[in-house]
Structure 1
C-alpha cells in the first residue's frame, strides 16, 4: 500500500509493505527512513487542519493504532507535522548498480537535467500585493449572477480593473469586465474579443484605471475532495497565465466560492491570492503540463520535467506551494454596477439604456452614466479615440457631460 504524506514540504509517498500488520508507529519509522523526519518529533493526522497554524482541532494518530483500523487505503493522504526549526535528514541513497569503467553503461546527464535540478519550488512567504479592496457593488453584481442565475453550477470568470497604490503595495478594484466565455464545472473557457477588450481598455484609461487582476468562481460540482485544496491544477495554470500577461507586481487573483455549512446554510466567500514568482516563471518557461485527464489529481500541478520540492525531485507540485494569500477588504468606489452586464445570458441592447436612464432621472446626468457596463455599451456606437475618453473623463472627474453628448445618448435610448 502506498500512502501520500502531506507536510509543509508538499506531497510525498511512502510504501507500506504489509499494511495488515503495520501500525501508526510502523508508518512513523518508514517516514523517518524514507523522508528523513525523526519518528520522535512526528505528528500524524488524517485531518488537513494539522498543517494550519492552529492544530487544536486535529487529533493526532496514536502510534499503537493498527493501520487496518483506520479509514485509509492505497493512495490515501496522511498529514505530517514536525517542528518548524527541524532540518530534515537526507534519506539514505540507494546504491547505484554496478557499471563498467569508462562511459559504457553510464547515464549521461543532459543540460536540461542539470537545469531541472536547479529549479526549486518552495512557498513564497510574502506577496507583492499587501492588500486588495473590492468595490462592494461590483463584487455583489458578480457573485449575484453566479449565485442566482448560474447557481454555482459552472465557473464564471472576469478581469479586475482599478487602481494600484505603489506606496502601500495594494490594489483597489472598481469594476469587473466579463469577457465572452463558456463555463463548466472545472473550467472557464474564455473567448476573448480583441475589439471589445480595446474598448474596455479605452474606458479604463479614461477613468484613470487599469487591469489589475483576474477573478473566477468555483462550481459546487467540481471534483471530489474540494475541502482539501484551494485551487485545482487547471485553475493554477489559468491564474498563472493571466498574471504573466498582467505584467504588474501587484496583480491579484480572486476566487469566489460557495461554502455550505452542515445545517444547509450557504455563504459566498471571496479570497485573494497572488501566484508565486516561481509559479509564473515556470509558466512562462513552459514547464506546466497543459493537458488534463479525467483521472488527474486536481490538488497538484504536473510538470514536464523534474523540479525540486522539499529536497526531492518530482513532477507533481502541490498547488498550495504556488499560492500567496493576499488580504482582502471592500470599499465603496466611484462607479455603480446597476446596468446590465455584458456577455451574459441576456444580451444587452439599447433598450436597457432607455430603462436605465428612465430609472435614474432624479440623478445628475454624469451620475446616470457612471457605470462601466453602460459605458461599454455606449462605446460600441461612439469613437473610441475621441468620444469614449471624453465621457470617461467626465465620469472620473464627476464633471458635467457636454450637452451634445447628453442629447446623443438620450437619442440612442429613445431610438431603442
Structure 2
C-alpha cells in the first residue's frame, strides 16, 4: 500500500492545516477531509493549487489525487465562494481566530442568473455563438433554404376568387400542419418541420433552445458532501416522464437496389446464423415528406462478429477507421445499422416465422440499448443546441418475418430520451421479457432519477407508472424502409456479372477473402486487364511531359 500524502491547506484568513490523503483518493474525498479538518459548516469553498486562484482542483469522484497533480507537501489554497448569511464582513474577526471557521464571502459573487431581458438575450446569443462552429450536414443546410410550405390547388367549390388569387382554402400550408398530417396518415413530423414549428411564434425562434436530457448529478456542487452522502435540488436531475417523440430525424430509408439486401441475407441462408451490418450511404431531401430527410444506402459493411442462430457478438474491428476513410473518399458515411432476426418456417416454401408483432415486441430492450449507443456515437449537428448536437440521424433496420411469413425490413430509431438514458447508463434489459426494459435503482456509486411513463387505465384515464419495468415501445420511432422500383447503383457492375468478390469477415467456405479470390475476380473482368495493358503501352510510347 502506498504511503499517505500530506497536503498543507491554507484557509482564506491564513490558517494552515495539514490534511492526510491517500494517492488513490478522489478530489471529492479531499474536499470532505478539508471540510472535516477545518470544522466547516458548509461546502461553499473551492481549492486551488495556486495562490492567485488558478489551477482549480475540481470536486469530482472521477479525478484522483495523483491525476490532479498533487504531491506530498504541496500547498493548497482555499477560497470562499458565497455567503450563507447577510452578516457584515467586519463581524467575522472574532470568529476567524477560533477553531471553528465560518466560510462566507466578503464580496458577493456576481449572480449567474440574468436579471433583465437584455442580459438574458445577451447570454442566449453567447450560448448560440459557442455552437456556431458546428458544421451542419449538407441536407440540413439545403432544408434551411427551402420554404417547406405545402402548396394546394384551387378548390373549385370553395374558392370564389380569380385563378391567380389565393384564399384560406388554397393558400399553402405549413410543414407542421396537424390536419395535413392526419389526412396523409403521418405519425411523425420531420425534424425540420418541428424546428419550423418552434420558430413560428412571435419571437421567430430567437429563444429556441434544444437541450439534451441529463440523468446525472451535476458535478462540482459544494453545498453538501458528494453523493451518496448528500444531494440538493441544484445538482439533482429532475424526474423524467417519457413522451412519444412527435418528430423523427430521418423519414425514410431507401436501399439503392435489392442486391444489397440479398447479398447480406445470403449468409443467413447458407449458415442459418444471424448477421449484423453497418449501412453506408448519404442523406438526401425527401420529396414526399414536407422538409423530410431520406437515408440512401449504397453499401453494407459487415464488421467482425461471432454469431449463432439466436445471438450476435460484435468483435473489435481494427480496420474500422480505414473503412470510414475509404467511404468518406467515395462520398459515403455511416447512416445506420442492420441486423437479422430470421427463423425458418417452411424450407420448401421459403417462409419464415412471424415473431415480431404487436403482441410480442418490435425491438427488444437489448436492441434499443444498442441503437441508443450507436446513435450517441453519431450525433446530429444542430444550430439550436447549446452543445452543438441534438438527436441522431442513425437508423436501425431489422430484417424479420412479416404477417405473411415473408422476409421484410422494418426501420426504427430510438427517441432522444432513450439516447440520454442509455448514455447515462440508466436503462438495462430485463431477463425474460424482451419487450420490457428496466430503469436502474440508485446505488452508492450512481444516482438514478425517477422515470415515469403514462398509460390509460380501464376507465380511460391517463395515469403515470414508474418505469420499473418499462415498455420499450415508448422509446421507438417508426421509419419506413424499402427498395425502389427503379434500382440505382453507386458501384455499377456488368449486366452479366454472376461472380462477386467475397464479402468481408465471413468465415464460410467459398466466401473468404484472399489472393486466390482476388485473382479469380480480376480474371473474370478481362476488360479491366485489357484496359490496364493498353494504358501501360500508351504511357510507354507517349510519356507524360
1:100-111 equivalences in 2 (<5 Å): none
Per-residue displacement from partner, 1:257-308 (whole Å, max 9, x unpaired)?
Answer: 13474xxxx4211111111111111111111126x63xx2111111114411
Q: Does 1:163 align with 2:306?
A: no
Contact 1:123 1:322 in 2 (8 A): yes
Q: Distance in 1 between matches of 2:335 and 2:396?
A: 9
Alpha carbons of structure 1 residues 260 and 118: separation in structure 2 relative to 1, 3 Å:
closer
Greater relative contact order: 1 or 2 (C-alpha under 8 angstroms, separation 6 or more)? 1
> In the alignment, is residue 340 of structure 1 matched against residue 502 of structure 2?
yes
Q: Distance in 2 between matches of 1:225 and 1:327?
A: 19
Q: 1:242 aligns with which of 358, 364, 374?
A: 374
Residue 453 of structure 2 is aligned with which of 309, 322, 343?
309
Structure with the higher helix share, 1 or 2 = 1
- Pair 1:272–1:180, CA change in 2 (3 A): same
Once the two structures are TM-superposed, the CA of residue 336 in structure 1 deviates from its matched residue by 5.3
C-alpha contact 2:375 2:393 (8 A) present in aligned 1: no
Calculate the TM-score normalised by the size of structure 1.
0.54
Corresponding residue number in structure 2 for 1:121: 242
SS at match of 1:289: strand
Asked which structure has the greater CA Rg, the reply is 2
Query: What whole-Å deviation, never above 9, does each CA across 1:22-56 have from its counterpart, x for those lacking one?
Result: xxxxxxxxxxxxxxxxxxxxxxxxxxxxxxx9xxx
Deviation at 1:117, TM superposition (A): 5.9
1:264-343 correspondence to structure 2 within 5 Å = 266-289=405-428, 293=431, 296-305=432-441, 306-310=450-454, 311-330=464-483, 331-335=487-491, 338-343=500-505
State the match for 2:324 in structure 1.
Answer: 201
| CA RMSD, Structure 1 to Structure 2 (Å) | 3.5
Conserved 8 A contact 1:117-1:308: no
Instruction: State the distance in 1 between where 2:530 and 2:365 align.
Output: 47
Offset, 1:402: 11
Among 176, 182, 186, the residue aligned to 2:300: 176
**Residue pair 2:369, 2:427 contacting (<8 A) in 1 also:** yes
The one of 397, 411, 415 aligned to 1:254: 397
SS for the counterpart of 2:281 is: strand
2:254 paired residue number: 133
Change (3 A) 1:117 1:184: farther
SS of residue in 2 equivalent to 1:155: coil
Task: Report if aligned partners of 1:170, 1:250 keep a CA contact under 8 Å in 2.
Answer: no
**Superposed displacement of residue 335, structure 1:** 1.6
Q: How many residues align?
A: 255
Task: Give CA-to-partner distance per residue, 1:203-250, whole Å, 9 cap, x none.
Answer: 101101111111111142999964321111111111111111122332
Relative to structure 1, the CA distance from residue 209 to residue 191 in structure 2 (aligned partners, 3 Å threshold; closer, same or farther) is same
Distance 1:217 1:201, change over 3 A: same
The answer to whether the 8 Å contact 1:117/1:313 transfers is: no
Aligned pairs (5 A) from 1:20-99:
none
1 CA distance for matches of 2:361 and 2:300? 26
SS in 2 for 1:169: strand
Is 1:129–1:326's contact at 8 Å kept on the other side of the alignment? yes
Query: Against the structure 1 CA distance between its residues 223 and 319, is the aligned structure 2 distance closer, same or farther, given a 3 Å change threshold?
Result: farther
Partners in 2 of 1:316 and 1:117 — Cα distance?
19
Aligned counterpart, 1:358: 523
Q: Which residue of 1 aligns with 2:92?
A: none
Structure-2 change in CA distance of 1:360 and 1:336 (3 Å): same
Query: TM-score with structure 2 length normalisation?
Result: 0.42
Compared with structure 1, are the counterparts of its residues 309 and 189 closer, same or farther at alpha carbon in structure 2 (3 Å cutoff)?
same
